[in-house]
Structure 1
Amino acid sequence: MLAFVPPTVISPLLSLVVFIIGHGLLSTLLTLRLSAEGVSAGWIGLVSTSYFAGLVLGSFVNARIISRVGHIRAYAAYASLLAALALWHGLLVDPLAWSLLRLLGGFATGGLFVVIESWMLVSSSPATRGRLMALYMILLYGGLAGGQWLLRYIDPLQLSPFALVAMSASLSVIPLALTRVGMPQTETPRQLGFFTLLRLTPAGMGSSLASGLLLGALYGLLPLFFTRQGLALEQVANQMALVILGGVSLQYPLGRLSDRFDRRRILALLGAGLAVLSLAILLLSQLALPGVQAMLIFLFGGLVFSIYPISLSHACDELTPEQMISANQGMLLAYSLGSTAGPLLASQAMTKLGSSGLFGYFALCAGGLALYLVWRQKVRSAVPMAEHQSYMPVPPNTPLAADLDPRIPTESRFNPQEDQTDIAPPPTAEVKG
């Protein structure tokens, strides 16, 4: 079943799973701990924003560092830094200090994703990249969901959960440290400016920005909403896991649906659906209907996590194949700007309107996206169906994800560059798999 997975890509995937479980635990743990300490929603939003700001910096800058020192040593350095930062969160509970720690954590996390995705790139072939990307997405979101369920067995007021996160980061080094592989060149000239890309695919860029506004607030403040609704820690863990499982379950079906219609119409429907779901969740949060709310939360996750990859597919439809690398970079920047601003804006809504302000914010962002895309359909004709690229689920982590996208022409990809510190010796050795 997984015969398409090259043996050399197993190591980064194992490291991803080990790391992402702790990463998923930490992102929710921090919000719950700050809430338990009585910290305001504004400060919690700032802590979340700091992480995404660091992630933006890391995902674009760390490639140069990794090129110089090799990806195994870079991964070990980033993982060690993240382990230390996790322990510092448990030792120094202060929102201002945590904002700085999360900025550094986002930077290091961006570096880890560059290492993992570049390793996957050099270890795969054009024929296997589509399935490998799908497996990557499943492991990524599955690990995030697993991290949420760990919340059921820990006390967020103790140091022990932060120690678990540190252990996760440290142990993730082992699979990579025991494997050698070449490293791709991680720098390529950018061909399209941000505003040029905005002119070429305004619907794609706008949808990416909206995706960041929604997901940034979801990661940082949704646990706070659940705790303020009176849910126990175990229930918060279940709800957060349901959101992520909804995302991994519905992305591909919705994406394939977008292959058959104008993607702007699908994105508009996603926005309208999210607005309706947000209002329904607000209403049902006042009633004792846990089963119905769980179903709505699952659907909410499925819709919100689908916006970015469908918007990227729409951009690929409107651009030439040679422009897709630049499109990925520009749309990732738009997403990152949204995810950085989202927690701050949503926290202000919660400060002024109470916990209900979060889903009011979601409804406003999603509804605005729907109206924008309806307008775009009126001012620009749809891309002919014969010119549609096949949908691919692509995570908004680093620009290197574009090279794992099989829609990118081979000549436009990053070229493999041997790194003698990480390459296995004998070229004559035969690798069977």
Structure 2
Amino acid sequence: MVPHLVTALTGPINELEQRILESTPAIERWFRLEWMEHTPAFYASVDIRNAGYKLTPVDTDLFPTGFNHLTPDMLPLAVQAAMAAIEKICPEARNLLLIPEPRLLPQAAYRTSVQRLIQIFTQAGLNVRLGALDPTLSAPLRIDLPEGEHLMLEPMVRTPRRLGLKHFDPCTILLNTDLSAGTPAILQGLHEQYLLPPLHAGWGVRRKSQHFQAYEEVAKKFAKLLGMDPWLINPLFTRCDAVDTSTRSGVEALQTQADALLAKIRRKHKEYGIAEKPFVVIKADDGTHGARVLTVRDAKELDDLASDTTAPPLPQRLIIQEGVPTYERVHDAVAEPVVYTLDRYVVGGFYRVHAERAVDENLNAPGAGFVPLAFAESHHLPKRDMRPGASAPNRFYMYGVIGRLAMLAAAYELEATDPYAEVYD
């Protein structure tokens, strides 16, 4: 299944697809050499936008929670990737402690995602058990699943140097909680066990602007390899720190930044003959859940921010990102592809679909649905002899390339923000 793309079937995207297909050997060699120098984030999900004139990531989550949306056909590849990752990190590993997100556990879909993770790592040869971040949990808690199965959440036991469960000492601890509220004391100072992803990948520390700064570097390298404009795969952005939008001066500072970015986008639209009016998306620079997201086409639209007492205030750390519309359609609803990775491999994905949202709006909102990417034919085997836009494997291969570029950017980002980097050097 290739979803309907509501845009011209000629232009930059098909030129980009053709160039990528023609350059597949060089691309795969380039990735291979990059992974020799950089350690991939353990797992990730990448939200991608296909505007017809550019194809870019707009968000990268290093604690993905939607494994329930991957089809059973995708699991063998996920298991194989998990095997490769564990063999590289801790070949003698026997036990894996998985720590889920307490905030999401009441949701049936997330419970199924956790079950899917357990299935993947069990098939990869590990004993997997669940540890609770809730310090009030004193006995194992049964959590029922939709189809009659269940999970068992257990209280964790911390010793001075290790973390585990009663009679269960893991080599590796897998975090599926994004640490947006900060790093719990129970996870700190664990230098004898592998903690994946590392603590500085959590939203208490991480910033989206750091990721997209790293992605810009990756996009430039990749674009040079293919002899193309990096803008075709890179969303422009700027960062605003300590902006208090409850004051007039704070709003004016935000308007100045937004106006400057809109001017840059207008110049690129003029260069490529794009008639659409550009827009920017203003959102939290960290991963705070429920934070307000604004879509702005003219900086004057922000005039009333300081006096608007009905809407939740914007956080003071913001990223202003080039708005990339999505012209993908699934079942006549606006859709965006989401690519899932494990270690350096693309293991699957799905379309996030929202019938009540427009092409320029955030689809990761209440009311969203999910349609698995139907890999009738492997996305790892693109058909280089077919015209652009005609083949599902070709389209999905492009998604996989963009997802891996974002994953590589995450590796750059984590290296740059590693608090122990100087010690290692």
TM-score category of the 2 structures, normalised to the smaller one: under 0.3
With a CA cutoff of 8 Å and minimum separation of 6, indicate the structure with the bigger relative contact order. 1
Structure with the largest fraction of helix: 1
Q: TM-score, normalised by structure 2?
A: 0.27
User: How does the TM-score come out when normalised to structure 1?
Assistant: 0.27
User: As a proportion of its length, which structure holds more strand?
Assistant: 2
Structure having the higher Rg: 2
